[in-house]
Amino acid sequence: MKKLVSISILLALVASCNNEKKPNGFITKKDSTTFACGGTPLPAEMAAKRKPPKTTTVDPATGTTVSAQNIIYYCFTGRTISGTGWNVSGDIICEPSGLNQLQIDSIMQRDSIAFDSLNVKLTTDESLYNKTPASNRLLVMFTITHGWYGNGAAGTSFIPSFGTANPVWIFTDLNKYRALYLKEIAIHETGHGLNCYHQAAYDTCTYKSDYRKGTFMGYIYTTPMDNWWAKGPTPAGCNVLQNDLAQMASVVGWKYK
């Protein structure tokens, strides 16, 4: 696959499990079995350690140096998206997620635990997101608005998205508003936003699929609430390993040192 010049790789353009070009994400097969499909070979520079975003910034109003906390904003309330890599046909006016507060609370509790070891705060506070420097934040959109993208995926993301204008997408109605799975899909897609690729499945060193069961960056539907961050082979090869947590920490740093 031709390497993109952009720092972000659009998952919608990458090869699927059978090497056909399909939208990335959780795709529905012809037999209606929902599964995760896609996968992007790791670029050579992926092994190089990236510096975490700066933890201070200058307040333009006062000229003083202030703390710049890393933020992941889960937006359930709707928002207009413009000026991003997704806006190939104008603004995207996102409707709310359609989830109730109990579902939202359940998603936030589960996903906050998943990212707890990283130097990042998961929040639903829009004002906190808006005042955080662009280099230190990530927007995750939970919305029923997906006509601009299609009906084939429950979520999608650029790799990476953190520190850019590009949001991560979770299409709630395509997963029938099921919080049990939406929380896992959001972890998976946010993992992409934090520079993670898929955990692939191999038999010894014989490739089986882009998605290793039971891992956040693999196939998450078999074991919802029992998936884990893994260290294992990627679609690039059985000897090309990714430590999920370390990969994300290369972007936002560790909470505990």
Give domain limits for the chain. 9-43+51-252
Q: Which of 194, 218, 179 is nearest to 26 (CA)?
A: 218
Inter-CA distances, 237 with 12, 48, 136, Å:
21, 17, 32
For 107-123, how does the pLDDT look when each residue is reduced to its tens digit (9 = 90+)?
999 999 999 999 999 99
For residues 36 and 25, what is the distance between their CA atoms, to the nearest angstrom?
Answer: 6
Who's near 126: CB < 8 A, 6+ residues apart? Answer: 73, 75, 77
Asked if the model's pLDDT at residue 148 lies above 60, the reply is yes
SS3 assignment, position 9:
strand
Beta bridge partners of 228: 215
**pLDDT above 70 covers what percent of the chain?**
73
SS (H, E, C) 158-185: EECCCCCCCCEEEECHHHCCCHHHHHHH
Q: Are 214 and 226 in contact (CB under 8 A)?
A: yes
Q: What is the mean pLDDT of the chain?
A: 80
By mean pLDDT, which of 64-68, 91-95, 178-182 is the weakest? 64-68
Asked if the model's pLDDT at residue 26 lies above 70, the reply is no
Residue 86 tokens read as: 């997704």
- Per-residue pLDDT, 177: 96
Q: Which residues of 79-99 are buried (b: 16+ CB within 10 A; e: fewer)?
A: bebeebebeeeeebebeebeb
Asked if the model's pLDDT at residue 1 lies above 60, the reply is no
CATH number of 9-43+51-252: 3.40.390
